Structure 1
C-alpha cells in the first residue's frame, strides 16, 4: 500500500499496519470546517482560504466512508458568548502570535463565538454523523469529550481531514497518538497555513505519529481489502 514518508511516496506492506486499516474500528475526524475559517468575506474572523478547495473533496470522501460504515465525527471550535473561554480570560496564544505573520485580523474577536454564523458547518453534516462542538483550543481532544466518544464506539484508528494541517490537525494527531489511537492523516484533504508548513506538519506525522495517505488509496483499501 502507498503511504507518504517525509513527503516521498513509499510502498509498504499492509500487513505491517493491520491495526491501522480496519474500517470496523475506524472513525473519520473532520476538524473545523466551518464558516469562521472558510467564509469568503473580509469579516471572516480566522480565515483559512486554502481549505476552501477541499470542501467538496471532503464531502465526497465522507459519503464513501459512510457507505462502508465508517462514522464521521465533525469537530469545531465553539467558545462561550462573553469570552469566558478566551478573550475575557486567558486568551488563546494564536490570537497574539499568528498576527505577527499575517498581520491584524480585523474580526478575530468574533471567532467561534457560540450562536454566531461563524460556527455554522460548511461541509455536509448528516443526521447520522457525530458532532463534537466544544473545541476551545487547538486539539480536537482538548477539552472535549472526543476521547470518551471514540472509546465508547470501540474506535482504535482515527483518520483526520480538515484544517489547519500545521495547527489543529497536527495538535490533534499528537494527542491521538499520545492516547494510543492509530493515526492516519489524509494529505489531499487537509490544508495548512502555507505549503512549507503543511509539508512540515505532514512530514512530522509520517515520522512520529502515524500514516500519511491519500484519501483514494485509503478508500480503495477499505473497499477491496489491503493486500498483504
Structure 2
C-alpha cells in the first residue's frame, strides 16, 4: 500500500501496519467543517477558504465509510455565547498570534459562539453519525468527551479529515497518539493555512504520529 513519508510516496507492506487498518476498530473524525471556517462571506469569523475545496470529497468519503458500517464523528468548535470560554476568560492564543500573519480578522469575536450560524455544519451530517460539539481549543480531544466516546465503542484507530491541517488536525493527531490511538491523516481531505504549512504538518504526522494516506488508497486497503 502507499503511504506518504516526509511528503514523499512510499510503498509498504500492508502487514507492517495491520493494526492501523482494521475497519472494525476504526472511526473517521472530521474536524471543524462548519460555517465559521467555510462561509464565503466577509463576516466569516475564522476563514479557512482552502477547505471549501474538500467539502464534497469529504462527503463522498464519509458515504463510503458509512456504507461499510463504520462510524463518522463530526467535531466542531462551540463556545458559550457569553464568551466565558474565550474572550471573557483567557483568550485563545490564535486570536493574537494568527493576526500577526493575516492581519485583523473582521468579526473574529463571533467565532464558534453557541447558537450562531457560524457553528452550523457545512459537510453532510446524518442521524447515525456521532457528534462532538464542545471543542473549545485546538484539539478534538480537549476538553471534549471524544476519548470517552471512542473507548466506549472499542475504537483503536482514528482517521482524520477536515481543517486546519497545521492547527486543529495536527493538535488532534498529537493528542490521539498520546492517548495511544493509531492515527491516520488523509492528505487529500485536509487543508492547512497554506501549502507550506500543510506539507510541514503532514510530514510531522508521518514521522512521529502515524500514517499519512490518500482517502482512495485507504478505501482500497480496507477492502483488501
Task: Indicate the SS of the match to 2:64.
Answer: helix
CA RMSD of aligned residues (A): 0.3
Partner of 2:122: 122
Give the whole-Å Cα distance in 1 for the aligned partners of 2:116 and 2:44: 12
Give the whole-Å Cα distance in 1 for the aligned partners of 2:75 and 2:69: 19
Give the whole-Å Cα distance in 1 for the aligned partners of 2:82 and 2:128: 31
Give the whole-Å Cα distance in 2 for the aligned partners of 1:104 and 1:155: 41
Pair 1:4-2:10 in alignment: no
Give the C-alpha shift of residue 70 in structure 1. 1.2
Partner of 1:101: 101
Give the C-alpha shift of residue 146 in structure 1. 0.1
Give the whole-Å Cα distance in 2 for the aligned partners of 1:190 and 1:164: 7
Partner of 1:30: 30
Partner of 1:89: 89
CA deviations on 1:112-169 (whole Å, 9 max, x unpaired) are 0000000000000000000000000000000000000000000000000000000000
Give the C-alpha shift of residue 171 in structure 1. 0.1
Q: Give unpaired runs (5+ residues) of structure 1.
A: none
Partner of 1:53: 53
Q: Give unpaired runs (5+ residues) of structure 2.
A: none
Q: List aligned pairs for 1:35-184, cutoff 5 A.
A: 35-184=35-184
Give the C-alpha shift of residue 222 in structure 1. 1.0
In the alignment of these two chains, the number of paired residues is: 224
Give the C-alpha shift of residue 69 in structure 1. 1.2
Task: Indicate the SS of the match to 2:190.
Answer: strand
Task: Indicate the SS of the match to 1:199.
Answer: helix
Give the whole-Å Cα distance in 2 for the aligned partners of 1:23 and 1:192: 27
Give the C-alpha shift of residue 99 in structure 1. 0.3
CA deviations on 1:33-74 (whole Å, 9 max, x unpaired) are 000000000000000000000000000000000011110000
Give the whole-Å Cα distance in 2 for the aligned partners of 1:8 and 1:147: 31
Give the whole-Å Cα distance in 1 for the aligned partners of 2:145 and 2:217: 30
Give the C-alpha shift of residue 87 in structure 1. 0.1
Q: TM-score, normalised by structure 1?
A: 0.98
Give the C-alpha shift of residue 196 in structure 1. 0.2
Give the C-alpha shift of residue 85 in structure 1. 0.2
Give the whole-Å Cα distance in 2 for the aligned partners of 1:26 and 1:167: 23
